Each structure stands twice: as C-alpha cells, then as structure tokens.
Amino acid sequence: MHDFDLTSLRLFVAVCDQRNLARAGEQAHLGVSAVSKRMTQLEEQLNVPLLLRHRRGVTPTPAGEILLEHARVMLSGADKVARDMAAYQHGVRGQVRMLASVSSITESLPDDIAAFLQLPGHAHIRVDIEERNSTELLRGIREGEGQLGVCWDATDFGTLQSLPYREDHLGVAVHPAHPLARLKRCRFEQTLDSEHVGLPGSSAVHTMLARAAAIIGKPLHYRAVVSTFDAALRCVRAGLGLAIVPGEIAQSFARDGQIKVIALSDAWAKRRFRICFQDEAYLSPAARLLARHLSAVASQAELQSA
C-alpha cells in the first residue's frame, strides 16, 4: 500500500493538464528541476513510468492516465475534508453538500433551503449547492461528491434511495406576435413547425424534447442554444424563436406582457422531482433533516394546490 504525497499528486495532475513541466512549475511556484524530481520520485514509488518525455513536453503513459483519474478523485476528497474542517472553525456544526439540476435551482429549491435554515436549531447548519446535469449529478452522489441530489424523476436512480420533491409543468414561451400566442394550450407537435431556442444537449429538457420529436417523426429546429432558462426567455422576448421551459420560471417574463406562456398538453410536460442519496441510514443528521424537510414542504405545497 502506498502513502501518496498530495503535493506530488497535485503536481502530477498539473503536469498532465499542461503537458509541460515548466508551465506546471510556474503554477506551483517551483522550478523545472523540482517538478521533474517530484515526478521521478512518484514513478520510483509506484515502480512504473508515468510520463513520456519528449522535445515539446510530456504526455501521460497508460499507467499515468490511470493514476491521473485516481489522483483527481483523491485530491477532490482532500479538498472537501479541508473545507469541512474549515467550516467548524467558524462554528458550523453541520454541513450538507447538495447537487441539483438547473430546473430545481431556478425554481423553488433555494427558497426551500432558506426556509429550512431559518428554523430554530438550524442556525449552525451550512448547505452548499452545486449545479449539475442529471447524469453528472447521479454519478456525483454515487461517488460521494454530494450527500443529497435533486433532479427530475425520469432519471434512472439505480440503487440510490429517494424521496419525493416538487413538481413543475413545461410550457411553450412565445413572443406575443407568434402564431401560437393566441392559444391557451397546445401539443408539443404543434411547436415543431417553428424555430426553437434550446438548452445544451446535456440538459434533461433537451433530451426529453429530442426523444419526443423522434417519436413524432419530425425534426427539432434550433435557432439558438443557450445555457440557462433566463437566456432562453430573453431570446424568446427578442423574437428569435419559442422555448419549452418550466411555466413557473417563465411567469416572471409573462407578467408584463413580454412573452406569452402556453401550457403543454402532453403527459410528459408534468415533471416530478426527487431528492436522492446513497442510503438514508448513513446520511449525516443535518442531511437527513434537510431531505425530510424538503420532501415535507413539497407535500404541503401539493396539497395546497390540489
């Protein structure tokens, strides 16, 4: 079993990223000879060549590629330990790291977490949120990068456990002059003759729409692809196309007449979200409290809207 030096691992990652010993040394404020010595010591420790050295720089060997993958995970874990311990220096006695989809962050999740932190007894709990797409989110929960995840329930959770969270409804955001603007409800198929403004291919909404269009047998024409719902709605307001977005998000643009939001009548347009985790029995007390709070708040909201 090897006791790895984290400084050497950080240097190794930097060397692989930069493909150059000198540039990696500049990042770490070390000379080339010091970096080279560290890399040689690492190779001697593992008894395997890790870098191919050539005139223009270096590249990792197959063994180096494997070490690079493990090193990134190890360094990420070490950084989390440091952050968690630093939090206790400021009196934080519970910390929850949450991974969440863009839809949940844009909608109710921040307000629900804020309400949780304002409850008596929760003043010393800290909640950190990181945005991820659904695939990366589930992988992050499985690999321990976050304790809780919030994403659309159409995702394959596999062995992860989950609790119900909120719902949203996809709608069609259009410019007031768009031909569909006169409708109150429409089917997704009716939007396929128009140009769309969409989110990146890695997003859950993009995947859902591509699948629905394939079933219908018509292509989706994207005039613009942007990274956020807010940017998509600004494009709609400018008349660049229509966008399929959660109606709850689009309402802020619709209130002043900048756009119109038409309800989608397709069954898949109603989305449910879930809070996922590895095993509730092994959650920290703070994470368990937060998961149950979020699920309970969502249940109350659903009862009130029924």
166 and 227 in contact (C-beta within 8 Å)? Answer: no
- Assign a CATH topology to domain 93-166+272-305: D-Maltodextrin-Binding Protein; domain 2 (3.40.190)
* pLDDT tens, position by position, 127-150: 999 999 888 999 999 999 999 999
pLDDT of amino acid 88:
56
Q: What is the pLDDT of residues 101-118, one digit of tens each?
A: 988 898 889 999 999 999
CATH architecture of 6-85: Orthogonal Bundle (1.10)
pLDDT in tens, 149-192: 999 888 888 999 999 999 889 999 999 999 999 999 999 999 99
With a CB cutoff of 8 Å and minimum separation 6, the contacts of 305 are: none
| Rounded average pLDDT over 236-262 | 88
* Residues 168, 303 contacting (CB under 8 angstroms): no
Two tokens at 86? Answer: 């630093």
Architecture in CATH for domain 169-270: 3-Layer(aba) Sandwich (3.40)
pTM: 0.64
Q: What residue ranges do the domains of the chain occupy?
A: 6-85, 93-166+272-305, 169-270
Do 93-166+272-305 and 6-85 have the same topology in CATH?
no
* Per-residue pLDDT at 81 exceeds 80: no
The per-residue pLDDT for 306 is 56
Rg (CA), the chain: 24
pLDDT at 120: 83
Q: What is the mean pLDDT of residues 294-301?
A: 85
In terms of Cα–Cα distance, which of 63, 208, 73, 64 is closest to 139? 73
Residue 95's SS3 state is strand
Give yes or no for residue 290 having a pLDDT over 90: yes
Which helix (H) or strand (E) element contains residue 14? Answer: helix 6-18
